[in-house]
Amino acid sequence: MTDRFDASAVPAGPTSSAAAGARDLHGFIAGLPKAELHVHHVGSASPRIVAELAARHPDSKVPSDPEALVDYFTFTDFAHFIDVYLSVVDLIRTPEDVRLLTYEVARDLARQQVRYAELTITPFSSTRRGIDELAFMEAIEDARKAAETEFGTVLRWCFDIPGEAGLESAEETTRLATTDRLRPEGLVSFGLGGPEIGVPRPQFKPYFDRAIAAGLRSVPHAGETTGPETVWDALTYLRAERIGHGTSSAQDEKLLAHLAEHRIALEVCPTSNIATRAVRTLDEHPIKEFVKAGVLVTINSDDPPMFGTDLDNEYAVAARLLDLDERGVADLAKNAVEASFLDDAGKARVRGEIDTYTAGWLAP
C-alpha cells in the first residue's frame, strides 16, 4: 500500500487539538469545490469497474476480485506500473466500455466536489486495439454531456501521445486530435505520457506544433522519472504551458525561477510519485521547494485507484507537507482554477464557489 496520509489515523483524544484540527481539515477538503488537471482516464477506473471488466474478460491477467487489486496495484518501479496500466487498458474493448468508464470516472470526481476536470485520454491505445475511432469519440462525448447534466461536473479532454509506443502513436494521436470530423468538442489540450527514459521529448516537436496550430494547449509529462533537462526540453520543443509532474525541476534553481516567472504550473501528484517510486518518501517530495520558489503548484491525483488515493487525499497530503490551514488549502484549489483551460467566466465561477465555501466554513 502507498504512504497514504490519513488524518483520521492521528491519535485522537480529549487533549489532541491537532488531531481535531486535522479531522476538520479533512471535512473542509471534502466539501471544497475543486479543479483536477492531471488525472488519467483508464488510470481512474475504480476497483469495482476494473473487477467487473476483468470478470467479463477472463483471458486477462487482471484480478476480478476487488480485494486482490490492492496487491496487483503495488508497483516495484515505474516500468512495472506501466505494465500493469496496460493490462487494464487491455480490458477496455468496446465503445460501451469507454462510455461506462468515462461516466463512472465523472461520478467519482463529482463525489469529491470536483467542478472541472481535464481528463488525460490516450486514444491511440484504444484505436490500435480495434475500437472504432468515431465510436470512441462519441462514447467520451456522450459521457461528458451526461456528467455535466447529471453531476454538474464539467469535463474536458487532453489527448496524450504514449511516447514509448513510438512516432506512429504520435502521428495517430495528432490525427485524431486535429481532424475536424473526429476531434471531440471537449478536447482542449495535447500531452505526452508514459516512460521518459529513452523517449526524448524533442522528437515530438512536429506533432505538438500541429496540435498547437489547431488550437490545443501543450501539457506534456516531464521530469517525472528523468532530470530537469527533460522539463527544459518540454518547454523549449513542446512549448509546454503546464508540466505533468515536473518533480525533478527542484534540482535546477534556474528552471524553478523560469517556471515561476512564466506562471508555468506544475501538476503535482504526490502519492503517485511514491507509488511509482519516482520519489522515495512523501517527506522527500519537493513540493515545498516549488512553493518556496514561487512556482504555481496544482494538486492532482494522476491514477487514483491504482495508487490507493483520491483528490481529497492528495489535498490532505499537500496540506500536511506544506503545513497549510483551510485558507492555504483553498489557495491551492484556486491555483488549479488559474492554471486550468477554463474560460474566464468559468474560472470566475469556480473561484467564487471556493471563496463562498471557505468563508462559510470559517464563519464563527
Ligand X SMILES: Nc1ncnc2c1ncn2[C@@H]1O[C@H](CCC(=O)c2cccc(C(=O)O)c2)[C@@H](O)[C@H]1O
Q: How far is CA 214 from CA 54, 134, 185, 240, 254, in A?
A: 38, 19, 13, 15, 31
Residue closer to ligand X (CB basis): 301 or 340: 301
Q: How many residues bind Zn ion (CB under 5 A)?
A: 1
Residue closer to Zn ion (CB basis): 119 or 324: 119
Smallest distance from the beta carbon of 38 to Zn ion, in angstroms? 6
Give the number of other Cβ atoms within 10 Å of residue 330's Cβ: 24
Smallest distance from the beta carbon of 278 to Zn ion, in angstroms? 11
Site string for Zn ion, 287-326 (x = CB under 5 A): ---------------x------------------------
Residue closer to ligand X (CB basis): 114 or 119: 119
Cell of 300: 492532482
Does 267 contact Zn ion by CB under 5 A? Answer: no
326 interface partner picked from Zn ion, ligand X, none, CB below 5 to 8 A per type? none
Sheet holding 187-193, edge to edge: 34-40, 114-121, 154-162, 187-193, 217-218
Residue closer to ligand X (CB basis): 7 or 192: 192
Smallest distance from the beta carbon of 344 to ligand X, in angstroms? 29
**Contact between residue 85 and residue 305 where contact means Cβ atoms under 8 Å apart:** no
DSSP state of 72: H
Smallest distance from the beta carbon of 36 to Zn ion, in angstroms? 12
Smallest distance from the beta carbon of 138 to ligand X, in angstroms? 21
The single residue of 104, 141, 172, 224 carrying the catalytic annotation is: 224
CA angle (354, 358, 361) in 5-degree steps: 140
Residue pointed to by grid coordinates 506512429: 168
85 interface partner picked from Zn ion, ligand X, none, CB below 5 to 8 A per type? ligand X
User: What contacts 219, CB < 8 A, 6 or more positions away?
Assistant: 118, 158, 189, 190, 191, 240, 241, 242, 243, 244, 267
Residue closer to Zn ion (CB basis): 36 or 302: 302
List interacting residues with ligand X (CB under 6 A): 40, 43, 82, 85-86, 89, 120, 122, 125, 128, 160, 162, 164-165, 193-194, 221, 224, 272, 276, 302-303
d(CA 139, CA 182): 12
d(CA 362, CA 168): 53
185 among known catalytic residues: no
| Residues composing the chain | 364
Active site residue ranges: 224
Residues at the contact surface with Zn ion, assessed by CB under 5 A: 302
